[in-house]
Amino acid sequence: MQSDAHEAEAQAERLFSEFADRVDRGEKPDFEALCAGESAEVERHLRRLFRARADISRILGEASSTLSAVRRLQAAAGKDVDPGIALEPEEGRAADAPPSTLLERLAAHAPPESRFR
């Protein structure tokens, strides 16, 4: 019995891997037709894998849009906006030091008790 369960899971993983490969290549395979030709145990595993893939895709999509400051900026201001984000620090400046213009602007507009004065 244990062996049958492992075989069903292994069969489902093989079938789902082929299904996912086809989806990744841009095909639109019929998941329901795939499930219809299998035993109840294999079908159960296939549906679990299908839900897991859908969840992972959704989470990655949300993370990608949430974590991309450039994309958010471009969505708000248009595709032609230059976010001015440098991956390398300016020469002679520490990597975590803000640009001097930012400090100057903060000092000019900050309250007197501010650390920027």
117 and 91, same domain (yes or no): yes
Provide the token pair at 71.
């994309």
Predicted confidence pLDDT, tens digits, the chain (117 residues):
567 889 999 999 999 999 999 999 999 999 999 999 899 999 999 999 999 999 988 888 777 666 566 667 777 777 676 666 555 555 655 555 555 666 666 667 666 666 555
18 and 50, same domain (yes or no): yes
Overall pTM surpassing 0.85 (yes/no): no
15 and 46, same domain (yes or no): yes
24 and 54, same domain (yes or no): yes
The total of structural domains in the chain comes to 2
3-state secondary structure 76-111: HHCCCCCCCCCCCCCCCCCCCCCCHHHHHHHHHHCC
